[in-house]
Amino acid sequence: MVLLYAYVRFHAMPRPTSPEMPGAIRALHARRQHLLAQLALPSDGLPGSLALSHRRCGSPTCHCHADAHGHPSWTLTFMVAGIKRVVHVPQEDVDAVRRRVEAGNQFKADVAEVLAINAQLMVLERQAHARRGRATPEATR
């Protein structure tokens, strides 16, 4: 819900078209608009990472005791309320879970890029405003 609000708020902002606006600010505004237009929360996205590990079972006659790698085991690791969770992923679900994790991570990366652009814009716009403020008094002297 908050993301939708932020999207609507940014989407409604007028686009900077002023010729005196520095090119870096225009480029950042354009990149942000492009990202926000594409940004969609994946309904089945997953957080975290998918990892393959190899474990040995408890059976002393199993081949895994002679094998250097043991049995393959896939796990999904993610955080919930600051607590790390690790869940087993069956082999037949690995491809589907991988796609869902990639979608979730791509969404997080896109949101992080939008937030970084907002921070850059804040700094650049303050600098541009300060330059305009300093230029005005000198022009009247």
Q: Does residue 30 form part of some domain?
A: no
Q: Does residue 51 form part of some domain?
A: yes
Q: What count of residues does the chain have? A: 141
Q: Does residue 100 form part of some domain?
A: yes
* Residue showing tokens 């969770």: 85
Q: Does residue 102 form part of some domain?
A: yes
Q: Does residue 62 form part of some domain?
A: no
Look at the chain and report how many structural domains it folds into: 1
Q: Are 77 and 85 in contact (CB under 8 A)?
A: yes
Q: Does residue 80 form part of some domain?
A: yes
Question: So what's the pLDDT on residue 135?
Answer: 62
CA pair distance 35, 10, nearest whole angstrom: 11
Residue 101's CB is within 10 A of a number of other CB atoms, namely: 20
**Domain membership of residue 76 as a residue range:** 46-55+71-111
10-residue stretch averages of pLDDT, the chain, 141 residues long = 43 45 82 89 93 86 79 93 95 96 94 92 85 61 48
| DSSP-derived 3-state class of residue 102 | helix
CA pair distance 13, 7, nearest whole angstrom: 10
Question: So what's the pLDDT on residue 136?
Answer: 53
| DSSP-derived 3-state class of residue 45 | coil
Q: Does residue 16 form part of some domain?
A: no
Look at the alpha carbons of 57, 62, 64, 65 in this order and tell me if their dihedral is positive or negative. positive
What one-character DSSP code corresponds to residue 62? S
Q: Are 29 and 16 in contact (CB under 8 A)?
A: yes
Report the candidate in 1, 60, 3, 30 with the shortest Cα–Cα distance to residue 13. 30
Q: Does residue 117 form part of some domain?
A: no
